[in-house]
Amino acid sequence: MKNIVVLGAGTAGTMAANMLTKEKVFENWTITVVDKNNDHEYQPGFLFVPFGMMPAKRITKSRRKFLPKRAAFVQEDVVAIDRDAQVVVLESGERLPYDQLIIATGTVPRPDLVPGMEDGSLWYDKVFDFYTLKGAEGLKAELKELKRGRLVVNVCEMPIKCPVAPLEFALLAQDYLRKRGRGFDVDVVFVTPLDGAFTKPVASEALGHLLAERGIEVVTDFQIESIDNERAELVSYDGRRVHFDLLATVPPNHGSKVAADSGLADEAGFIEVNKHTLQAVADPNVWCAGDATNVPTSKAGSVAHFEMDALVPNLVAAVQDLPLTHSFDGHANCFIESGRGEALLLDFNYDQEPLPGRFPIYGVPALRLLGPSYLNHASKMGFELVYWNMLLPGRPLPFSADMKMDGKIVPEDAR
């Protein structure tokens, strides 16, 4: 009997396992999913915890509950991938043979890479991440006590998981403070290594205007060198300093150690794949999806979902020695919570940056693109149900995996 091993039971790995078990060609294959624990975290919820918009106890559920019954689930760390022997080595020393391997090990926050961050006296006192449940809960407590001063939201470097989340945090924080009468006493500052609010020009301009309207200061081109804990300041390589009374930071994001050590990854530990087929560049028996890839699009749950519509049929073709015919176009869509009960929606791919207009649901132009609306906010809050009940099980969503131009408004100078 042949074997597929899936490394990681997060968003991408869980979807992959569910979709593979529905394929007839794999009826007689063994499918094994490996992860170090049984805690599946709803990561979009981390953003809401500091502002009391979602209770922490709702974030985590059993990984096993969302994996197909036919798949074996191994709870153990993976320490190595022996590609010559086509074997995954577990921490216990057990060796899992594979014929096809899917790497879905995501990203790992690395606060240890910034001097003065994880090893500083202010870590988890006045300096927090919010991509972990511990950090999000810590920020919730500190925000309650922040009466005046400077709340700084900082991105250390790109790429990061969910690149719009820091913008959302800044906007939600401004709204949170405004509602509590502290809008004039606490300055919200957004510090980014980019030259604008976002990576794409049209979206960057729109989001920059929104931040300015809300009175949020933006510090651009800030390449962080260290954190000065004595003075509570971010320090950049060009000598600039930004003082904070409370810091919500996004540490460098790198690939997992096992991915980085696989011989398949770039210098940041992300697996180098064909960006259209999701097959590893250096090994045709290895595939990768979700945040663990080096594809030049957002690291987001929506991307993992859209990738599966190419990866799974391509894997089915590969094991039958057929051509790979499905192509992932880099499609990403991201809601951006803007506070005041509204959110924006971005929709883009490798070739098309976010544009204004309407995003179609079942072919109907329903959701406003690149502009705030209540319906976008309601959709983001409702996404939690979609995530657990449709996305993870690999059920079809009411729009195409490929990005469509329907409803988008193209600027005249780009036509």
Question: Residues 105-140: pLDDT tens digits?
Answer: 999 999 999 999 999 999 999 999 999 999 999 999
CA distances from 51 to 35, 179, 194, 214 (A): 30, 11, 26, 17
User: Is 356 in contact with 347 (CB distance < 8 Å)?
Assistant: no
Alpha helices (runs of H) in 123-238, residue ranges in sequence order: 133-145, 165-179, 201-213
pLDDT score for 80: 97
307 class by beta-carbon count within 10 Å (0-12 exposed, 13-18 middle, 19+ buried) = buried
Helix segments in 261-322, DSSP class H: 301-318
Show the DSSP H helices in 84-200 as ranges. Answer: 133-145, 165-179
- DSSP-derived 3-state class of residue 86: coil
Q: Residue 8: phi, psi to the nearest 5?
A: 105, 125
CA–CA distance, 103 with 286 (Å, rounded to integer): 7
- For residue 179, the model assigns a pLDDT of 95
Residue 93 zone, left/alpha/beta (φ > 0; ψ -120 to 50; rest): left
DSSP letter for 273, please.
B
Task: Determine which helix (DSSP H) or strand (DSSP E) holds 376, and give its type and residue range.
Answer: helix 374-386
Q: Give pLDDT tens digits for 229-263.
A: 999 999 999 999 999 999 999 999 999 999 999 99
pLDDT digits (tens, 9 = 90+) for 9-46: 999 999 999 999 999 999 999 999 999 999 999 999 99
pLDDT digit string (tens) for the chain, length 415 residues = 999 999 999 999 999 999 999 999 999 999 999 999 999 999 999 999 999 999 999 999 999 999 999 999 999 999 999 999 999 999 999 999 999 999 999 999 999 999 999 999 999 999 999 999 999 999 999 999 999 999 999 999 999 999 999 999 999 999 999 999 998 899 999 999 999 888 778 888 889 999 999 999 999 999 999 999 999 999 999 999 999 999 999 999 999 999 999 999 999 999 999 999 999 999 999 999 999 999 999 999 999 999 999 999 999 999 999 999 999 999 999 999 999 999 999 999 999 999 999 998 888 888 999 999 999 999 999 999 999 999 999 998 888 899 999 999 987 766 6
Nearest-angstrom CA–CA distance, 368 and 234: 36
Query: Which are the contacts of 244, defined by CB distance < 8 A and separation ≥ 6?
Result: 126, 149, 150, 151, 152, 189, 232, 233, 234
- Global pTM reads 0.95
